[in-house]
Amino acid sequence: MTSRVIAVTGASGGAGCTTLTLHLAGALGGVAVDGRPLGNALELAGIELDDGLRWPALMAGSSAGDPNRAISSMPSWYGVPILGGADADTDIGDPGHIEVINALSMQRIVVVDVGCVDLMSGRGEALRNQIGQVIAVARPRVTDAAKVAALVRTCGAPVHLAARVARADTMAPWDLSNAYGCRVATVIRDVRGLPKAVDCGVGPSMAKPRWNAGRSATPRGATPEHAAASLARMVRGEAP
């Protein structure tokens, strides 16, 4: 059975959670929710100036009780509704915001960008109880691994690792899996031109994972778009 609420979290800032959230929501036909105070999902998608429902208006208006109306009123990126525009006081761990996420999940799968692992850990048991699966985006290095390990111990939901490509001075992605019991679901490579491309409304091209020919045979990884498609199959319980 497909989980209705998927959380995407990062072991550190700038790991690529927001980009993966947008693509995963698209691959699942769901709603992307930016759950971070002052989050930038709309800016990353290049639609921050588009009309549409944001967090403050949703919480203050009647749309909170009508999830279909709320979803249709959100600004969208390639058909993906995005709930963003959170102000500094937004806390998706409070009962009102959890109620909204739960209502949205009755209509579509909800993919929530909860920011870094530290923020997720501080948002309370009520939020964690709503989450069916967690995608942890982490660079293969010791500091990120420690945070992923703590998340696996305390989350209560299955945690899957989206590992960033390893460099020569870092841990290999599978080392994270072996050391902390967290399955490496996909390996994502850096796409240097992605921010500019997304800002222009052009998503990254889909590419199959490739492998280095060097001694380490470290995977070069997939684009965020291809990684999201792979994660979507995993979330649905489909065979790779």
pLDDT, tens digit (0-9, with 9 covering 90-100), for 142-195: 777 778 878 887 777 888 888 887 665 566 666 667 766 677 888 887 655 555
HSE at residue 60, side-chain half, CA atoms within 13 A, is 8
* Strand-pair partners of 77: 80
Give the pLDDT score at 109. Answer: 94
Q: Is the pLDDT of residue 115 over 90?
A: no
Structure tokens at 139: 């660079």
Q: Where are the domains of the chain?
A: 5-236
Cα separation, 212 vs 218, in Å, equals: 6
Q: Is the pLDDT of residue 1 over 70?
A: no
Out of 48-62, 80-94, 186-200, 220-234, least confident range: 186-200
Give the pLDDT score at 196. Answer: 54
pLDDT, tens digit (0-9, with 9 covering 90-100), for 13-53: 777 889 899 999 999 999 999 988 888 899 988 898 999 99
Which amino acid does the sequence have at 204?
A: P
CATH domain 5-236 topology: Rossmann fold (3.40.50)
pTM of the complete model:
0.83
Give the pLDDT score at 24. Answer: 94
Give the pLDDT score at 94. Answer: 81
153: left (phi over 0), alpha (psi -120 to 50) or beta: alpha
Q: Is the pLDDT of residue 141 over 70?
A: yes
Q: Is the pLDDT of residue 11 over 60?
A: yes
Q: Is the pLDDT of residue 84 over 80?
A: yes
